[in-house]
Structure 1
Amino acid sequence: MSTRTRILEVAAGLVAESPDGDVSTRAVCEAAQVGAPALYRHFKDKEGLLSAVVDYGFDKYLATKRRRSPGADPVEDLRNGWDSHVDFALQNPNLYRLMNSPAMRTPPAAALESHQILTRDLERAAAQGKLRLAPELAAQIVMSANVGVALMLVSRPSTFTDKSMSRRVRDAVHAAVFTPDVTGPRTASDDSGSGADDVQLPSTAARLSALLRQSPDSALSAAETALMTEWLDRLSNTPPNR
């Protein structure tokens, strides 16, 4: 085992056992039986070490997503993705809080990869005409809600005790980003007076944009493709009744 791996494994264990999820570089060095210069040579500073710990731990979770073959229904993949995200947070509360800590000035690579996987699934949904927003905006909405739910569950377990809460929030968020035929009928009050066109136009624009990105032999030039994509994304992301 390399010195770097030993330091990472020791630091990950100390983070998991810590009451507040924080560790000192001195404690890591003592437990790993290395000097401070070795730690700083591999990780530069404490933030670099903690960022590497997050990537090291979260890599196990992402490994299952990397191996997963896309299902026929991207919406079902997205539902399962939400649930597995929350399950990982509950099983690794200190690691998860660390990953989403404001003190981490540089987002861990694992967080960026997780967001990219989510966006790809949403792009597949858009290509099937199931998304009412551009995939990039939908990914921001879904990820922020998913992370928010997970953080509340691990940070305030005595307050957030309803086991169905995560599923309820998931379904409400999905109703906002997917077309009504995917999530079920919505009432007039749910749509705030919007008509079918308020859903059909953004959904069609999102689908065309996704298909345009996937087309390797577009008849458009690079500049025309960029302009068309900008227009389609603007149409798909425009709020109803505006």
Structure 2
Amino acid sequence: MQITPVTPDRLVDEVVTLVDARPGRVRLALDGPPPTRPLALAERAAVQLRTHGRETVVVSAGDFLRPASVRLEFGREDPDEFLDGWLDAGGLRREVLDPAGPTGSGQVLPRLWDATTDRAHRARYVQLPSDGVVLLAGALLLGRGLPVDVAVHLRMSDAALARTLSPTEHWTLPAYTRYEDERHPSEEADLVVLSDHPDRPAVRR
């Protein structure tokens, strides 16, 4: 095992290199808790991929949560439900990942559900070309059978997560511990990024 410190810019290069190595459409998952800023990484990688001639669609897992009546059935601060029941994995497959697959239509819905208003987004479908890239960013994405082609896991230790996560979200900490212990995202990822200090990441090869 080799650990290599990288700059944030170099990390974007590493992600883009993983995608560019694959022909056809690519479904990339950028998985990490909020302090690791997976969505920001996805957006930066998308910009660089477009300069390489690859059309991109950035999808936030936060726009594919289940309705509140289902998501919060066991209360607003249930860590087990947060891990197992908040994400609308079926909706992600149906509207994003399956259509973006090699035999899919290429018609991708970037946003499905607005968790703030608890209503469906009025987003339009985007036609992804044959070499387009979907960048799915969010937390707790791996180990649930989502069909992705490349996965990047932004790993943060329990101590670092407790230090950097908003106090209002500390109730989620047991979910992240379970996620690492039970779903082993580092074993599923093509690239593991040690992100205890997100501005000074390191790549584990």
TM-score range, shorter chain: under 0.3
Larger strand proportion, structure 1 or 2?
A: 2
Under a length normalisation based on structure 2, what TM-score does the superposition of the two structures give? 0.24
Larger helix proportion, structure 1 or 2?
A: 1
Under a length normalisation based on structure 1, what TM-score does the superposition of the two structures give? 0.21
